[in-house]
Chains A and B, each alone.
Chain A
Amino acid sequence: MNIFRILGDVSHLLAIIILLVKIHRSKSCAGISGKSQILFALVFTTRYLDLFTTFISLYNTVMKVIFLICAYITVYMIYVKFRKTFDSENDSFRLEFLLVPVTGLSFLENHSFTPLEILWTFSIYLESVAILPQLFMISKTGEAETITTHYLFFLGLYRALYIANWVWRYHTEKFYDQIAVVSGVVQTIFYCDFFYLYVTKVLKGKKLSLP
């Protein structure tokens, strides 16, 4: 465990909590892509099946359980509790365009051809593209609430810190996981355009709106 990994996990948790607090306080999930949140719930579910097979550490177990619970609460808030405020009209990204290639690729390129490994690989590939429905929604409506941009910033920061974590682990432990690293780099690239807008607009006190 290194500082980049801890900070990465903390910013991941912070992102998830920011989103929950936003929905809870405003009693609205306007501007949030329910599809992205369903994908994240699916990511955690398929990745953390090892909760039943492998014990890594108390930290690892507790964090996995928290992520799972938060992901399902978020989906519940969007599709049940505050359903009336959900902007399904603009959440129109076609999930099959992500799910079909990701499923295919997880069968083709994995560490071993076993159900748990294929599901783990599926979750890694899916996480790398899960934010696309949210980014698509923002580009479609041309704007995002400031709190939503904070959510995206911490989610992107988590990915960037994980890359630093992998560089660190490679140098200190000679450890690297090619599937996680390649997917993680791809995922981080998706946030670059958003990071640029966040720094040039949101941090200067302006609302994020696209021309």
Chain B
Amino acid sequence: SMDLAKHDEL
């Protein structure tokens, strides 16, 4: 699962 608003990779 993932936080949609938070793409923490570049």
Interface residues of chain A, those whose CB is within 8 Å of chain B, are 5, 9, 12, 47, 50, 53-54, 56-57, 60, 63-64, 67, 111-112, 116-117, 120, 162, 165, 174-177, 180
Q: How far is the CA of A45 from the CA of B7 in the complex (A)?
A: 14
Cβ–Cβ contact B7 & A120, under 8 A:
yes
- Find residues 1-10 in chain B having any chain A CB closer than 8 Å to their own CB: 1-2, 4-10
Query: When the two chains form the complex, which single residue of B1, B4, B5, B10 contacts A60, counting CB atoms closer than 8 Å?
Result: B10
Q: How far is the CA of A12 from the CA of B8 in the complex (A)?
A: 16
Residues of A within 8 A of B7 (CB): 47, 50, 120, 177
Residues of A within 8 A of B2 (CB): 111, 175-177
Q: How far is the CA of A5 from the CA of B8 in the complex (A)?
A: 11
Closest beta carbon of chain A to B1's beta carbon, Å: 8
Query: When the two chains form the complex, which single residue of A9, A117, A175, A176 contacts B10, counting CB atoms closer than 8 Å?
Result: A9
Residues of B within 8 A of A180 (CB): 9
Q: How far is the CA of A164 from the CA of B2 in the complex (A)?
A: 19
Would you mind naming 23 contact pairs between A and B with Cβ atoms under 8 Å apart? Answer: A12-B10, A50-B5, A54-B5, A54-B6, A56-B6, A56-B8, A57-B8, A60-B8, A60-B10, A64-B10, A67-B10, A112-B4, A116-B5, A117-B4, A120-B7, A162-B9, A165-B9, A175-B1, A175-B2, A176-B2, A177-B2, A177-B7, A180-B9
A166 and chain B: residue at smallest CB distance: B9
Residues of B within 8 A of A120 (CB): 7
Q: How far is the CA of A149 from the CA of B4 in the complex (A)?
A: 36
Closest beta carbon of chain B to A39's beta carbon, Å: 16
Residues of B within 8 A of A162 (CB): 9
Q: How far is the CA of A177 from the CA of B7 in the complex (A)?
A: 9
Q: How far is the CA of A55 from the CA of B10 in the complex (A)?
A: 13
A111 and chain B: residue at smallest CB distance: B4
Closest beta carbon of chain B to A172's beta carbon, Å: 14
Residues of A within 8 A of B4 (CB): 111-112, 117
Closest beta carbon of chain A to B10's beta carbon, Å: 6
